[in-house]
Structure 1
């Protein structure tokens, strides 16, 4: 037995699942059973003859009659010492009792359901005792009414036919005294130890429950105009209920009805009236409360299922609802506008007629245009998940529903509009964004739809113009014939009005344009860099051309990201900087804040670790190229491969050129010299930025500068060293030489000496920067975007020396590290690349010392091009 108990405990979850599934099957079986006994035509005929206020009163009494049964569960929670909220108890109690009313089985179903809802954290003994006592008192009220009915029969005021049921009334009436005496005398065990307080509470609840039954049944008959003495009705009702319960038939269906029909017929009531009476009683006391209970039961099952899987099903359901409501709003808007544009087409064209959810006379022409375009505009706000779109959308749908009901009642249209309204309200939690940033993607979609509809409407007007050729030569196309020119003009004015409304509504959704991030605070940024280290791009933050997002782990600031904002995109430069353990949390926090304000981050030139983090967060990626690293511990100029480089170095050295590293701060004379070299190198071109620094004195003063001097000790080339706050990697940023004074090969001369310099500093690798599009899209199974990029790589050398740059760096590089651009999978790659292109090539406003920067990769490419030319 002990082993059996352990086995049952081990498989407790399985038995609970089986029980809930069994109850669900029984519930649906009962629904089908009731459906067979209730004819909708019959109900319609009945309700035609009964005034509306009487029907409403019947429904109200039926609901109030069920309400006392919730007292069982309030008492049960007190007995078990539970702390459930009153709302939870009321909801679960209604569910349990209405299902038990219909399903029955002697109250066993109610015990099983109560065990499921209230047994959490309790042992089997703690649950079984209170539930058993509740089960004993479920029929206490019926027993009391049995004694009361027996007294009515003995008084002699009941008819002889009803009086013959006295044995059933006596048997049922003895149940309560026996149960009360038993629970009072038994002090221990599962059924013992019930306090007088709880006995009284359960007795009162059960009495009120059966009082509700008597009142509900009697009042329905009275409202139907049926005259029957309570001295006959009450004993007959109680006796029939006792017989039905003893039969153990679900809801006492069948036996109760047979006994009532037999008894009431003998009391002189016609059989059709009895059937209607029983039908209405079933409807208002059983069916309607049961349907409410069924909804609550479904909610409970869904809640448990959702909780079991960590809320994922609920999130998916809300997301699906949101997508459906957006689809319906766009579809409805398009159909309504088309209906106003080519009404005849919805009669003549089969597929259009099949799609038509609305009638042509749904509303007048002018409001029709307004409603259609307004649904499209509201659809954008809902699709963008903006909070501000909720109330305007609800108001618009309510107006559409009311207008449909008043002007041309279309059941399909009302159902569709009501469904949209319910979905919008039900998925309100999906509207979480604080503002709308109208992105190029959304502008393209909405512009295509609204633009097509507007142009099509204009084209219809032109086609119907008396000056159009078909009026003189050919029979016009019937479905394109518009009712009148005046009506078309009314619709055209409506389109102009909608255009103005669209601008106002979009401005409302945008609110006060809120940007994310903050300007660079050097103190805070340096604290992170000096504590946790940086990377080859971290120094770019001090240019001031980008905003930063700083992550706080609850104790201190540990990570920052640098980014520029364009359109609805936040283009993050490089990998996160700071404490590596917090990278994922920092990226997630940044994405969440950006999403809240309707921005989409793009992560530009990231390594594989960042790809792994972002791929789990719903980001796709494209390989942008490879970053060249020189292993300083093994680098040498010896060997056949470096023969040409050695010759260049020896020549420049013999000519008297020298290498030096200057330490800040730099004098104004030095900065003026560097400015002259930079201007000579630029040759009038504007500085570009984002991924590489521009010439800024404040920026260059932040670190050492490597220079090449000629025989006259004059600086002819320079490169600023970028602190990476680690001994792992060293790199440079600007690398420029005087177009006239610097010797050919000065870049090699500078790089080789930089390698020696960093190696002496204990740095392991030198970052030569990225070779754009290198080793991208070579495989036939590469992403389509990458294969297109490979075509650019192979054929774009006329504009940019991709291959030459790769070959140049190949001389020094000991390893290549892939670099990626990551974007959310909802983004359009074309617009992602366009934003990157605009941000990365934005001209720098040197007067404000703000610009965008490019990495050494791109700069070395320019250097190589100029040198080779």
Structure 2
């Protein structure tokens, strides 16, 4: 006997496995035998006849029945004095208990999961505490075993049920023995548990098994089954006890066989019993564990995300956001097509499989309206606009409810619920305060909306069921359209268009531009403290907006820009403290993004290319800037022979160079304005990248002039500071068409070079030669070739090559200038925006 006992101990794992395997085979054979007696057609009919609201009620009760099990985890928290938040406890409890319900294995799975979730903060005491919890899990079942035993003896239960009294007695004894032992022992795995914790665990266990019982019985009542609770309860509890003893995960099979046989013996049809058990498995086990797996993977992902500093979460949300926007567009297009060309979904099976909606879910007009609304919300979501969130939630929820009421479809509802979940999960990606409809988005949406609208007018309305059947060929519809058809289409499209406009207007919100009026004090402080560049002085023309970056409340950098459509076009490089340029650009991009604008950086230098590359910006070369090295410049040599001849001739005619200092008299300003107007010859002045005649602007700095022998000004150029000794330049350069001698510009330039050299300035900036050496090679970037084509075609004010050739004779070196733009912008539209801004006439009356 002793040898047998030792052999059993040594091979207990093998014996346990064999026991479970043999029992599983027996149960499987019994299930197959039962299956032969069941009509699956009747089972399917019973399910279809069950009202959907009852199915929902079953699911809700099943979910609520899981909640009491969180009591174990809150008790564990108090036992080990853990500092986890309640939400974390609820989520982890749901994961642990729902997975354990499916897996079983005597509660070992719950111990392992709890050790994983809580063990890091209580590694020493965790095993002892989990063992005590595991022992109390069945205490509530023990109480129900006693109630069931009493029921079959005192409530005249069916004789069939009395055969289970030994199992119920055994279950009833579990809790009293456990409570006595744990109260008696003062230490070890079974002792040392305070009375308040024993009572808390008992309460949690009783509520857990109450939830199981209520969930099972409620499903029976909702299916319309007539039964006595005092008969079903003992059978249910006995089946659970036998299932636990069988050690089969989730008691799958053993419990079901007992319930099918037992409930059938109580006079309930087997098909009804099978449906009852199936819905119980789904509502109490399946759906809750599905939610539990979501929480489980959330926990794993959170740890993974923390390990890699939040990058996985950011990438996942970005992917979710793109999928969300794509699905909204896809849904809208499918709904419009479904109402417009329903026959296509019948004739082309692949299209029918692709479509998540059923034809009868909505009639044509609501489908058209819902489809286009989804498209607009798709655009709002794609634009990351906060105001799109709740309308999208409402729209999808309405579609879900409508599908339930009008034409229930699991595929449609599942698809819409998934879409709703994605919208909710990716809410944090909606960061913009308003919606600005960019030219790029208008182009895409215009193609989609236009194509769908025309398709509806030409085909959809023609096929509306309420219209009389037309026997003529389809082509005649194009040639001789019915007034009724076109009127119906016009009404539908008008209503849809009005709704779309209202939605777009709602998304736009209160129009706001990221603009500040020019604060002369702050701007002047920045320039005088940190310096500027050859474009900085243009800010005082006040034809552009200003963004001022403050480092610890001290203004250190400013950018000047103009807004057109959704593009904030920054003129030149930032001005101010170079060390803060990257932070200033970052702040500007973030502020622009918040209000749904995309910055474009125009005529920026290579240093800005490097900074903006880190922000994901693309760039194209816009031209070259000519610099004259004043230390090495000379008019001697063969190259300047023609220029010397012109200078000598002008000088002999009595013309001379002078630099006037502000403030200027009214007479001087009148003379300069007269020259400017004659030079313009009726043309409108332009701004943005160029200066224009403004008395306030001209009064700020010295003006270089050429005068004739009568001391009359015939040419002038205003000198603008770069606030450094490195570069000097001018802005307006104008001459009188008849009074200025030929070559007066060269005369002015040469003397300006000499003047600035005396001021110890190193370089003279001759300005840009737009599109110089841009897109000329077949190997050039496609963007640069497109830019060159658009800019060259659209500009009527420059002879680009002539300007390049003129500056070439003075330039010592050429500095490349670039335009940088977000990858969300199309280069053609960027160039159009630049073309509009560069050629926009200045309204002097508003200055």
1:133 aligns with 2:133: no
- Residue 127 of structure 1 and its aligned partner are, at CA, apart by 2.6
Map of 2:716 onto structure 1: 718
Counterparts of 1:91-240 in structure 2, within 5 Å, are 91-119=91-119, 122=121, 126-142=122-138, 161-162=163-164, 164=166, 176=178, 180=182, 184-186=186-188, 195-210=194-209, 212-213=211-212, 225=227, 233=235, 236-237=238-239, 239-240=241-242
Report if aligned partners of 1:387, 1:435 keep a CA contact under 8 Å in 2. Answer: yes
Moved more, 129-138 or 533-542: 129-138
Once the two structures are superposed, residues 93-147 of structure 1 have per-residue CA deviations (whole angstroms, 9 ceiling, x without a partner) of: 1111111222234434323333443356x3xxx3341343123331224257559
1:616-695 equivalences in 2 (<5 Å)? 616-695=614-693
| Matched residue SS, 1:726 | coil
1:406-465, CA deviations, whole angstroms, 9 ceiling, x for partnerless residues? 66666666665565555545544444433333333333333334444444555569999x
Corresponding residue of 1:22: none
CA contact (8 A) 1:369 1:491 kept: no
Shift in Å at residue 840 of structure 1?
0.7
1:639 to 1:379, Cα distance in 2 relative to 1, 3 A? same
Alignment match, 1:87: 87
Q: CA deviation at 1:502?
A: 3.7
Equivalent residue number for residue 813 of structure 1 = 811
Q: Using the TM superposition, name which of 475-484 and 759-768 deviates more.
A: 475-484
Question: What secondary structure, in the 3-state scheme, does the structure 1 residue paired with 2:558 have?
Answer: strand
Given that 2:324 and 2:422 are in contact with CA atoms closer than 8 Å, whether structure 1 keeps it comes out as: yes
Deviation at 1:522?
Answer: 0.7
What SS is found at the alignment partner of 2:548? Answer: strand
Question: Is the 1:710–1:716 Cα contact (8 Å) retained in structure 2?
Answer: yes
Residue of structure 1 aligned with 2:329, choices 327, 330, 355: 327
Match of 1:30 in 2: none
The aligned counterpart of 2:3 is none
Q: CA RMSD in A?
A: 4.4
Cα displacement (A) at 1:351: 7.3
Contact preservation (8 Å) 2:646, 2:743: yes
d(CA) in 1 for partners of 2:147, 2:332: 69
Q: Give me the whole-angstrom Cα distance separating, in 1, the residues matched to 2:678 and 2:653.
A: 22
- Partners of 1:457 and 1:156 in 2: CA distance: 69
In structure 2, distance between residues paired with 1:374 and 1:319: 18
Does the C-alpha gap of structure 1 residues 772 and 255 become closer, same or farther in structure 2, counting only changes over 3 Å? Answer: same
1:553 aligns with 551
Q: 1:576 aligns with which of 567, 570, 574?
A: 574
Deviation at 1:387, TM superposition (A): 3.6
Change (3 A) 1:71 1:548: same
1-side partners of 2:370 and 2:807: how far apart?
Answer: 62
Distance 1:682 1:241, change over 3 A: same
The answer to whether the aligner puts 1:314 opposite 2:316 as a matched pair is yes
Partner of 1:526: 524
- Give deviations 1:608-662, integer Å, cap 9, x for gaps: 2222232332322221101112233333344444344344444444444433322
Partner of 2:288: 289
Q: How does 1:448-463 map to 2 (within 5 A)?
A: 448-456=447-455
The answer to whether the Cα contact below 8 Å between 2:602 and 2:820 also exists between their aligned partners in 1 is: yes
Give the Cα–Cα distance (whole angstroms) in 2 for the partners of residues 345 and 698 of structure 1: 68
- Aligned to 2:125, the other structure's residue is in SS state helix
Matched residues in 2 for 1:239 and 1:401: separation?
A: 41
SS, match of residue 718 in structure 2 = strand
Cα deviation code 1:295-351 (max 9, x no counterpart): 332333344444444132332233223322332244135414633xxx556656777
Corresponding position of 2:441 = 442
CA distance in 2 between counterparts of 1:374 and 1:53 reads 28
Q: TM-score, normalised by structure 1?
A: 0.79
Q: Deviations over 1:13-65 (max 9, x none)?
A: xxxxxxxxxxxxxxxxxxxx9xx999997864665798989877765654454
Work out whether residues 786 and 827 of structure 2, in 8 Å CA contact, stay in contact via their aligned partners in 1.
Answer: no
Contact 1:146–1:235 (8 Å) recurs in 2: no
Indicate the residue corresponding to 2:76 in structure 1. Answer: 76
Counterpart position of 1:6:
none
1:15 corresponding residue in structure 2: none
Specify the alignment match of 1:769 in structure 2.
767
Pairs aligned (count) = 795
1:634–1:110 CA distance, 2 compared to 1 (3 A): farther
CA distance in 2, matches of 1:54, 1:443: 46
Q: What residue is the counterpart of 1:590 in the other structure? A: 588
1:226-280 Cα distance to aligned partner (Å, 9 max, x none): 6765996587357425524xx4x43344566677789999999998887667655
Measure how far apart 1:580 and its partner are: 2.1
Q: SS at 1:812's partner residue? A: coil
3-state SS of 2:563 partner: strand
Change (3 A) 1:132 1:755: farther
SS in 2 for 1:560: strand
1:333 and 1:376 in contact (8 A); partners too: no
Q: Does the 8 A contact of 2:100 with 2:110 survive in 1?
A: yes
Tell me the CA shift for residue 284 of structure 1.
4.2
SS at match of 1:708: strand
> How far 1:806 sits from its partner (Å)?
2.2
Distance 1:664 1:798, change over 3 A: closer
Summarize the Cα distance change of 1:479–1:404 in structure 2 as closer, same or farther, 3 Å threshold: farther
Question: Given that residues 183 and 193 in structure 2 are in contact (C-alpha distance below 8 angstroms), is that contact kept between their aligned partners in structure 1?
Answer: no
Distance 1:559 1:442, change over 3 A: same
Q: Which runs of 5+ in 2 are unaligned?
A: 1-27, 155-160, 464-469
Aligned to 1:742: 740
Secondary structure of residue in 1 paired with 2:828: helix
Contact 2:329/2:374, CA 8 A, preserved across alignment: no
Query: CA–CA distance in 2 between the matches of 1:454 and 1:272?
Result: 51
> More deviation in 401-410 or 70-79?
401-410
Match of 2:25 in 1: none
Query: Are the structure 2 counterparts of residues 484 and 146 from structure 1 closer, same or farther at C-alpha, using a change threshold of 3 Å?
Result: same
Residues 289, 319 of structure 1: alpha-carbon distance in 2 compared, 3 angstrom cutoff: closer
Equivalent in the alignment of 1:729: 727
2:46 and 2:272 in contact (8 A); partners too: no
Question: What is the CA-CA distance between 1:519 and the residue it aligns to?
Answer: 1.4
2:6 corresponding residue in structure 1: none
Rounded Cα–Cα distance in structure 2 between residues aligned with 1:359 and 1:652: 86
Is contact 2:790-2:831 (8 Å) kept? no
Q: Supply the distance in 1 between the matched residues of 2:78 and 2:518 (Cα, whole angstroms).
A: 60
Q: How far is the alpha carbon of 1:401 from its aligned partner?
A: 5.3
Paired residue secondary structure (1:127): coil
Partners of 2:146 and 2:168 within 8 A in 1: yes
For residue 389 of structure 1, report the CA deviation from its aligned partner: 3.9
Q: Secondary structure of 1:185's match? A: coil
Distance 1:462 1:232 in 2: 64
Moved more, 215-224 or 828-837: 215-224
Which stretch shifts more, 144-153 or 713-722? 144-153
Within-5 A mapping of 1:121-520? 122=121, 126-142=122-138, 161-162=163-164, 164=166, 176=178, 180=182, 184-186=186-188, 195-210=194-209, 212-213=211-212, 225=227, 233=235, 236-237=238-239, 239-240=241-242, 243-244=245-246, 247=247, 249-253=248-252, 279=278, 281-309=280-308, 310=310, 311-332=313-334, 334-336=336-338, 338-339=340-341, 363-364=362-363, 366-397=365-396, 420-421=419-420, 423-456=422-455, 476=474, 486-520=484-518
User: CA 1:131/1:764 → structure 2, altered by over 3 Å: closer, same or farther?
Assistant: farther
The answer on whether the counterparts of 1:332 and 1:375 sit within 8 Å (CA) in structure 2 is no
Does the 8 A contact of 1:133 with 1:191 survive in 2?
no
Please state whether the residue corresponding to 1:622 is helix, strand or coil: strand
Query: Is 690-699 or 97-106 further displaced after alignment?
Result: 97-106
